[in-house]
Amino acid sequence: MEIYQGQSFPLGATVFGDGVNFSLYSKNAERVELLLFDAKDHQSPFQVIELDPHRNRTYQYWHVYVKGARHGLVYAYRVHGPFDPATGHRFDGSKVLLDPYARAIVSDRYERAAAIGSDDNCAKAMKSVVIDTNLYDWEGDRPLNHEFANSIIYELHVGGFTKHASSGLPDRLRGTYRGLIEKIPYLKKLGITCVELMPVQQYDPEDLPDQSLSNYWGYSPIAFFAPHNGYASDPAPAEVLDEFRDMVKALHRENIAVVLDVVFNHTAEGDEVGPTLSFKGIENRAYYLLEEDPRHYLDYSGTGNSVRASHSVVRRMIRDCLRYWVSEMHVDGFRFDLASVLARDEYGNRMSHPPILWSIDSDPVLASSNIIAESWDIQMYQLGSFPGDRWAEWNGRFRDDVRQFVKGGQGIVRSFSQRLTASNDVFGRIFGDPNHSINFVSCHDGFTLNDLVSYNYKHNLANGEDNRDGTDNNHSWNCGVEGPTDDPEIEALRLQQIKNFLAILLISQGTPMLLMGDEVRRTQHGNNNAYCQDNEISWFDWTLAEKHKDLLEFVRKLLYFNRSTPFFQEKVFWLAPEPHSSTKVEFHGIHLGQPDWQHHSHSLAFTLRNDVFGLKMHVVVNAFHEGLTFELPTDNAGPWQRIIDTSLAAPQDLQLPDTAPPVEEKHYHVKARSVVVLQSQDHNR
- Cβ count near 312 (within 10 Å): 10
Q: What backbone phi and psi angles, to 5 degrees, belong to 395?
A: -95, 90
Handedness of CA 418, 419, 424, 427 (dihedral sign): positive
Give, rounded to a whole angstrom, the gap between the first and last alpha carbons of the chain: 76
Residue 396, phi then psi, degrees to nearest 5? -65, -25
Q: Alpha-carbon distance 281 to 89, whole Å?
A: 8
Residue 342, phi then psi, degrees to nearest 5: -70, -10
Is 246 marked active-site?
A: no
**Strand-pair partners of 154:** 195, 514
Contact 518, 495 (CB under 8 A): no
Active site residue 374: yes
C-alpha torsion angle, residues 663, 664, 669, 675 (rounded to 10): 20
Amino acid at the residue 233? S
Q: Report the interhelical angle of 279-287 vs 312-327 (nearest 10°).
A: 120
Which amino acid, 350?
Answer: R
Q: Which of 182, 242, 374, 401 is catalytic?
A: 374
In DSSP notation, 390-409 reads S-EEE-HHHHHHHHHHHHT-
Omega cis (within 30) before 10: yes
For residue 644, give the nearest of 668, 631, 660, 662 by alpha carbon.
660
Cis peptide preceding 651, ω within 30 of 0: yes
The pairing of beta strand 584-588 with beta strand 511-515: unpaired
| Alpha carbon distance 312, 39 (integer Å) | 34
Closest CA to 623 of 405, 455, 463, 466: 405
**Active-site hit among 337, 519, 645, 653:** 337
Helices of type H across 144-206:
158-162, 177-182, 184-190
Residue partners of 656: CB distance under 8 A and separation at least 6? 557, 560, 561, 643
DSSP 341: G
Alpha helices by DSSP H, 117-220:
158-162, 177-182, 184-190
Chain centroid offset of residue 157 CA: 9
Alpha helices in 446-487 (DSSP H): 449-452
Taking every pair of C-alpha atoms in the chain, what is the biggest distance, in angstroms?
88
Residues 440, 647, 650: CA angle, nearest 5 degrees? 90
Active site residues: 337, 374
